[in-house]
Structures are given as structure tokens and as C-alpha cells.
Amino acid sequence: MLKTRLIPCIITKNELVVQSFNFHRYLPIGNIRTAIEFFSNWDVDEIMIIDIDASKEGRSPNVKVVDLAVQDCFIPLTVGGGIKTIADIHSLLNAGADKVCLNRSAVENPAFVTESARLFGNQCITVSIDAIATEQGYKTWDYVNQRVMAETPAELARKMESYGAGEILLNSVDRDGSRLGYDVELLQSVTQELKIPVIACGGVGHFDHLSDGALKGGAQAVAAANIFQHTEHSTIAAKSHLLRSGVDVRLSSAVKYKDFEFDALGRPY
């Protein structure tokens, strides 16, 4: 059985790392290369960089960012934002990315998912789905046009799986930046429908929330952004919490996970 992956998600806007709150408000917190260097040297399984400006501005992926990132990155790197063509994927992979994350282009042109998976392999293609709670239940959120779509996240995820996506990144708009934890019900509604892995994202405010995503939500990978920026030894603490909760994670021989103690807020001391 595959181990649960821990993935820091680096959200970028105007080439700066930002904290995101409900996909609406953003707080600049640093530069991309510094963030990459930090995560790459600590205990994570993958790094994800998402450029939230690219699709809104109608531009291609920022390959320059990947060129800089890979200088300090020694673990798998997934890149998303502005990917519309096979040439875009080629440019990102040639720059050093290991996988790509599609969002708007996958919804508008499902054949692009199929062609991308055929050329680069299913394992290379992640599709990101943004979900929002409505009076009619969970729906897919169109970030670029700021509107609710008719499809549920589960319906869209099933389609993307059939088109060839290798995994789904499931973002909760409502929980984004809230520190309330993953929307477990949302996760369950999608993970129960798929055979491919689902990455949980949105809302982590305590490292125990990561365990909830895996054990209760059924996610095969847990991602977070904001919490990793403000907690000392954050990635190691995250793995320690997952381990203590019974989640099967990859462990580093250089880290003594059981030596970590935590305060009431889950912060290591």
C-alpha cells in the first residue's frame, strides 16, 4: 500500500509566495526560492507551486520560476498555473518539473487531459478541482470567472479520471485560510468515487487536521500552505503528528519523530 504523502503547496502571485484566504484575499510572505530551499531540506514528499495569476491574466506558465526553483529542489516538483498546451507542459518538464497541475484547461478542454496523459503518462497529470459549498450541495468553483459551476466536485473528478488524470487536487474554497481543518465531508464525497489518488487541500490550522484528511477523508496525500510558513520545524512536526495518528508516512532516518512534544495548539517545543 502506498504511503500517504505530505505536500507543501506554494501559492504564488506576482512571483511572490502568498497566503491565501478563501481564494479572495492574499498576503505576501516571501520569495519562491527561499520557500523551495526550506521545504526541500526538510521532511516532505513533494512540493507544489501554483501560480494563481497565470490563468486569470491569460498568460503561459512562468518557466523562469521553475528554473529558479529547481536549483534548490531535490524532491518531486509539481507546477500549475496557465498550462493550456502540450508545449506548455514540455517547457515545464524541460525546466525541471516532475508533474503538472491542470485546472481551467482541463475543464474547458477535456481532450487536453487525455492527450497530455497519453504523451507524458497519467502519473504526470494532476487535475485541480476547486469546490465550494452551496445550498444545493457541493459545487465546482470557477476561480477565473468567480462563479459557481453546475457540476459537483465528485462528478467532475470522475470525468477527469476517465479522461486520464493521474490524481486530483481537491481544494475547499470555504476552508482556504480558515484554519478550521479539511472539509472531511467534501473529501469523502470525492475519494469514495475514485480509484486514482486525491490530494486534500484547504483549511489546515493544526497538524492533526492532516491526519483527518487521510484517516477520515480518505485522501492519499495531504497538502497545506499557510501553516508551514509560521510554525518552527513545521514539516517534521506534521510528519510526527501523522505518524502518531497511525498514518503510514515515509520517514527520514535523520529525524527522531518520537522526541517531538507539542503544545495545546499542536506547535512543537
Has residue 265 been placed in a domain?
no
Residue 226: exposure state from Cβ atoms within 10 A (0-12, 13-18, ≥19): buried
Report pLDDT for 73: 84
Q: What is the number of structural domains in the chain?
A: 1
Has residue 219 been placed in a domain?
yes
Has residue 68 been placed in a domain?
yes
Report pLDDT for 52: 85
Report pLDDT for 11: 87
Has residue 197 been placed in a domain?
yes
Has residue 269 been placed in a domain?
no
- Of 88, 130, 174, 212, the active-site residue reads 130
Report pLDDT for 78: 97
Verify whether residue 174 is a known catalytic residue.
no
Has residue 255 been placed in a domain?
yes
pLDDT tens, position by position, for the chain (269 residues)? 689 999 999 888 888 788 777 766 777 777 788 888 777 777 789 999 999 888 777 888 989 888 888 888 888 999 999 999 999 999 999 999 999 999 999 999 999 999 999 999 999 999 999 999 999 999 999 988 889 999 999 999 999 999 999 999 999 999 988 899 999 999 999 999 999 999 999 999 988 999 999 999 999 999 998 888 766 678 888 888 899 899 999 987 666 666 566 666 556 55
Report pLDDT for 264: 61
Let me know: does 225 contact 22? Beta carbons within 8 Å: no
- Which is it for the CA torsion 156, 164, 176, 3, positive or negative? positive
Has residue 85 been placed in a domain?
yes
Report pLDDT for 35: 82
Read off the pTM: 0.92
Report pLDDT for 255: 66
Has residue 268 been placed in a domain?
no
The domain that holds 77 is classified in CATH as 3.20.20.70
Task: Residue 147: give the domain boundaries.
Answer: 5-259
